[in-house]
Structure 1
Amino acid sequence: MASISNHSSERGEKPHSETLETASHDIEKTGAITDHHGESLVRFDPAAEKRLRNKLDYMIVPTVSILYLFCFIDRANIGNARLAGFEKDLGLKNYDYNIVLSIFYISYIVFEIPSNLACKYFGPGWFLPAISLGFGITSLGTAFVQTKEAACGVRFVLGIFEAGMMPGISYYLSRWYRRAELTFRLSLFIVMAPLAGAFGGLLASGILTLDHFGSLHAWRMIFGIEGIITIGLSLISFFTLTDRPETARWLSQEEKELAIARIQSERMAQTTVLDNFDKKKLWLGFWNPMVLSTAFVFLLNNITVQGLAFFTPTIVSTIYPNKTTIEKQLFTVPPYVVGAVFVLGLSFSSWRFDRRVIFILATAPFTMVGYILFLASHEARVRYAATFLAAVSTFAAGPLANAQVSAVVVSDTSRSMAIGTNVMFGNIGGLISTWSYLPYDAPDYKIGNGINLAGSSIILIVSVLQLLWMAWDNKRRDAKDVDAELQGVSESEMESLEWKHPGFRWRP
């Protein structure tokens, strides 16, 4: 059976199958392969799609997941270094540690959208390994800083290189996977964030058992060894990361055409999968009510995500003040492991139901209960249990939010802007998180825990409003005559309509 065929048999005409080459010729001749309602004009062999999807999972996801693992480790290992004497050795006092954390987010936020547009322009196959090499070298450089100013400098440079990783990988995966499939594949790399917390704590505790690493001692070994590992992985990824289906040597010609057609079949009025830059599409990728509202949700969520990354070792040390440094590092591991399981579970459910907002909404109550426990109890075991509740819910919103902004735009250009916007807003939340847990608020950190409780409560409210608004706007669009609305609109103009196309429907 052919991998692609016409819908003629479904319309009651004489059924027939075509070879991939013939179907691709028809696609090229007619341009877009969707009708004015966004429905695909071709159908696909489910077995061929499954074989292709499995191959993509094995060849694409592992490389980006490992790169993101060390991206997050290189960002968050400063929390482990803090327990090992980072502040004392550099003479940091009062809010100096918070300032060092904040400097990272200034460059991280500023370069977010430019980095994702550069990723589209140069191609993810080269861009992602290049910035990975950059932040690996920068992490290694952190091992040699001697002053607060030097620490701020390397953190600023680290933010420049790391800015492109989450949006770049999310955009990259959208070149390969369907809308429903994307959430779970995003989770397979974003799950590296909680795993980085767990693995980073284990790695740091292991590194700290060494007397020295070359000329490096104590916390400097953490940055040195982890930076070298990142450099090695990024050099390998130059050879293992495939830019797009057309250049994948491990795909047959038929598989390449199937990979391209699958993606194009979900992109209303688009004649190509990888379009050229278009100012109108860029603007509509940003000025989109669901992109902006989801980005706001991700901002609130990231206050908790980054707060956990940077301050979990500190929080654990206040819960168990009499434990050794290595024991405290190990206590940070279990919440992240449980959080990783929930990331995969919720994202898998999102894939099966092709829904995202309802699952974002479902994460909020767990986070709320976790921070209520932080605020209400002084019992060590209760507060430690609260870190599990926060971890199981908050990390899952990352893949769900990025998949949602990808689902509510149409073109490749708009998608690069939408994902960049979402992650940029998210990192504003990361900047806020660096000032959530302040020295004078220890050991209960009522301000930080209150901020996270408020954020998760607002996420619940915004998610409900999103669902209600999408249902209302879809009903309003259903009342219109799509063909009449498109009367006199040229193919190129139709391609630039994006979510304003009358046949477009919001997908929750």
Structure 2
Amino acid sequence: MMNPDTALPHEVDLVKKQELEHLEFGSKEQVSVVDPSTTNVLLETDDFGNEIVHIDQAASDRLRRKIDLHIVPILALQYLFAFIDRANIGNARIAGLEKDLKLTGNQYNILLSTLLNASFSFYVSYVIFEIPANLFTKWLGPGKAIPLFTVTFGILSLSCAFVNSYGAALAVRFLLGLAEAGLFPGIGYYFGRWYRREEITFRMGLYIACAPLAGGVGGLLASGILKIDGIGQVHSWQQIFLIEGIITTAIGIAAYILMADRPETARWLSPEEKKLAADRIKADQVGSTTLLEGINVRAIKEGIFATTTLVNGLMFMLNNITVTGVAFFAPTIVATIYPTKSTIQKQLYTVPPYIVGALCTCIFPYITTRVKRRGVVMLCTAPLVITGYIIFVSTTNSQARYGALFLILAGSPSFGAFTNGWAAINVASDTARAAALGCVVMMGNCGGLISIGNFLNLATNITVLGLTGYLLLFIRHNNKKRDAGNYDHHLVGVRPEEAYKLGNNHPGFRYKT
């Protein structure tokens, strides 16, 4: 049971209320009752008809927009430069990195794959670190942990400007991968402290859009930086790492000042808004008596081994083969298509496909907020990527292959938002969400282990399409079992204030499609 000395005020009030009330389980039909005196007031209940919280919907909408303005831009900016710092080695390659470091054979590819776990030692360390990194984020607080990650990989990216050998570059890129490991799942977890389940996927799309946008911004930055004659002893490709690393570090410092761990600690929210923010999340957590439970093994296992977590992790892994491959090799692909263009022109040619990708990564997740279905939208976007790879394998025409880049980048990056958002909303507790997102991102980054050709990229994206259909069928089947009362026995002998420990086994929990 919750300790009232350490609990937040609204948590103590909620537990006392539940201890005083005698809860009787009523209809198994999900109920949403609207006060007839106003359409702005929404009374939400769980699947047994018990009132959870009373929310003014108009005030909730205003608060959501305020939260958007305060937290989405700074998170998106951090992720933008994380991806720029990850992928700028592609820009540095065509600016002379290979020649200056005297790379031979497959050493450049190893530099890339070190960041993406392809060497065995790094693969093991990254896999081990991903989930603990997100639990560390929960323990320290995302308002502190996420900026810490950003500052760390900013400094490491800056350090890449001063490497003078293959071994030194390998070591720095290895550390850069570790520093970045906690950022992606940490941001997804952070959204869970501020947004309701149906709101998360679109917000994830807003910052994941920075992945394809990073390719465009990185190309523009690189082309601009390369026009500088030199900064002291730093020149050409070294300037790319130096300047972009300094920018990233500055953004991380600003984020530490601007970010709050949770609504209750946000200086820019009034007491009434803080309570409403907590109520909005509370209404979304069936059977729970606390917004932020302590870290515990039960919830960690629940988050990692949920079917929705594992299937989304597998889809993210297969999708990431495409996303990371395009991110690292787009400059090289463009250089192959347009071999007679100048270095700066080649950098600029990478920009338009990335802009289209960024727009689609916002548009497709936004559609899910309107239709309240993720899987159906995924079934519609996956064919874009499949079509792009069909073009790649069926023609050598440079214009057609350049057009295929647009299709691939229009469809693939949005799956990062879909899979992580879908996993985040289908676990019942704060700790389970942290573990689930750590697992999905860990599996997703394993996609960078695999460097494959166009035919296999085509096959992986067809597999993603099939897995999406499977997960939709699983969710619908499981929810029907809950509607039929097959999970009611889990509540027998359980006190109301302890019901949150049931997690996904709570009869009132429903998976979201």
Query: TM-score, structure 1 length as denominator?
Result: 0.90
Which whole-Å CA distance do the structure 2 matches of 1:286 and 1:37 have between them? 28
Aligned residue type for 1:292:
L
Quote the offset at 1:121 in angstroms.
0.3
Range 43-52 or range 405-414, more displaced: 43-52
**1:30 maps to what in 2?**
18
* Alignment partner of 1:286 is 2:304: yes
Range 108-117 or range 202-211, more displaced: 108-117
2:54 is paired with a residue whose SS is strand
**1:500 maps to what in 2?**
505
* Alignment partner of 1:228 is 2:229: no
**1:487 maps to what in 2?**
492
* Alignment partner of 1:98 is 2:86: no
2:116 is paired with a residue whose SS is helix
Which whole-Å CA distance do the structure 2 matches of 1:280 and 1:415 have between them? 12
**1:423 maps to what in 2?**
441
Write the mapping of 1:264-413 to structure 2, written as runs, cut at 5 A: 264-413=282-431
Which whole-Å CA distance do the structure 2 matches of 1:217 and 1:371 have between them? 37
Tell me the alpha carbon deviations over residues 350-384 of structure 1, each in whole angstroms, 9 at most, x when there is no partner. Answer: 11222212222222111000001011011110000
Quote the offset at 1:248 in angstroms.
0.6
Match of 2:218 among 175, 200, 204: 200
Match of 2:255 among 230, 237, 246: 237
Range 204-213 or range 94-103, more displaced: 94-103
Listed as ranges, the gaps of 5+ residues in structure 2 are 1-8, 24-43
**2:193 maps to what in 1?**
175
Write the mapping of 1:103-182 to structure 2, written as runs, cut at 5 A: 103-106=114-117, 107=122, 108-182=126-200
Quote the offset at 1:172 in angstroms.
0.5
2:510 is paired with a residue whose SS is coil
Quote the offset at 1:482 in angstroms.
5.4
Aligned residue type for 2:99:
K
1:84 is paired with a residue whose SS is helix
* Alignment partner of 1:58 is 2:69: yes
Quote the offset at 1:40 in angstroms.
5.5
Aligned residue type for 1:81:
A
Which whole-Å CA distance do the structure 2 matches of 1:23 and 1:399 have between them? 31
**2:4 maps to what in 1?**
none
Which whole-Å CA distance do the structure 1 matches of 2:314 and 2:12 have between them? 40
Quote the offset at 1:29 in angstroms.
2.2
* Conserved? CA contact 2:382–2:461, under 8 Å: yes
Cα gap change, 1:38/1:161 in structure 2, threshold over 3 Å: closer, same or farther? farther
Equivalent residues, number: 475
Aligned residue type for 2:66:
K
1:44 is paired with a residue whose SS is strand
Cα gap change, 1:390/1:40 in structure 2, threshold over 3 Å: closer, same or farther? farther
Tell me the alpha carbon deviations over residues 269-308 of structure 1, each in whole angstroms, 9 at most, x when there is no partner. Answer: 1111111011111101011111100110000111111011
Which whole-Å CA distance do the structure 2 matches of 1:38 and 1:348 have between them? 30
Which whole-Å CA distance do the structure 1 matches of 2:430 and 2:171 have between them? 35
* Alignment partner of 1:69 is 2:80: yes
1:249 is paired with a residue whose SS is coil
* Conserved? CA contact 1:143–1:223, under 8 Å: yes
Aligned residue type for 1:87:
E
* Conserved? CA contact 1:128–1:165, under 8 Å: yes
Quote the offset at 1:110 in angstroms.
3.4
Match of 1:258 among 260, 264, 276: 276
Match of 1:189 among 207, 229, 237: 207
Which whole-Å CA distance do the structure 2 matches of 1:91 and 1:289 have between them? 47
Quote the offset at 1:23 in angstroms.
12
Aligned residue type for 1:377:
T
Query: TM-score, structure 2 length as denominator?
Result: 0.89
Which whole-Å CA distance do the structure 2 matches of 1:22 and 1:112 have between them? 32
* Conserved? CA contact 1:73–1:200, under 8 Å: yes
Quote the offset at 1:22 in angstroms.
10
Cα gap change, 1:293/1:231 in structure 2, threshold over 3 Å: closer, same or farther? same
Cα gap change, 1:213/1:100 in structure 2, threshold over 3 Å: closer, same or farther? same
Match of 2:471 among 466, 479, 490: 466
Cα gap change, 1:40/1:348 in structure 2, threshold over 3 Å: closer, same or farther? farther
Aligned residue type for 1:29:
K
Cα gap change, 1:393/1:285 in structure 2, threshold over 3 Å: closer, same or farther? same
> How high is the sequence identity, in percent, across the aligned residues?
48
Tell me the alpha carbon deviations over residues 197-222 of structure 1, each in whole angstroms, 9 at most, x when there is no partner. Answer: 00000000110111102221110000
Which whole-Å CA distance do the structure 2 matches of 1:192 and 1:213 have between them? 28
2:162 is paired with a residue whose SS is coil
Aligned residue type for 1:389:
L
Which whole-Å CA distance do the structure 2 matches of 1:482 and 1:281 have between them? 18
Cα gap change, 1:167/1:481 in structure 2, threshold over 3 Å: closer, same or farther? closer
Which whole-Å CA distance do the structure 2 matches of 1:278 and 1:23 have between them? 18
* Conserved? CA contact 1:406–1:419, under 8 Å: yes
Aligned residue type for 2:269:
L
**2:454 maps to what in 1?**
449
Quote the offset at 1:422 in angstroms.
0.6
What is the RMSD of the two structures over their aligned residues, measured on CA atoms?
A: 1.9
Quote the offset at 1:250 in angstroms.
0.6
Range 97-106 or range 59-68, more displaced: 97-106
1:285 is paired with a residue whose SS is helix
Range 384-393 or range 350-359, more displaced: 350-359
Which whole-Å CA distance do the structure 2 matches of 1:232 and 1:282 have between them? 34
* Conserved? CA contact 2:487–2:505, under 8 Å: no
Cα gap change, 1:483/1:67 in structure 2, threshold over 3 Å: closer, same or farther? same
Cα gap change, 1:26/1:411 in structure 2, threshold over 3 Å: closer, same or farther? closer
**1:42 maps to what in 2?**
53
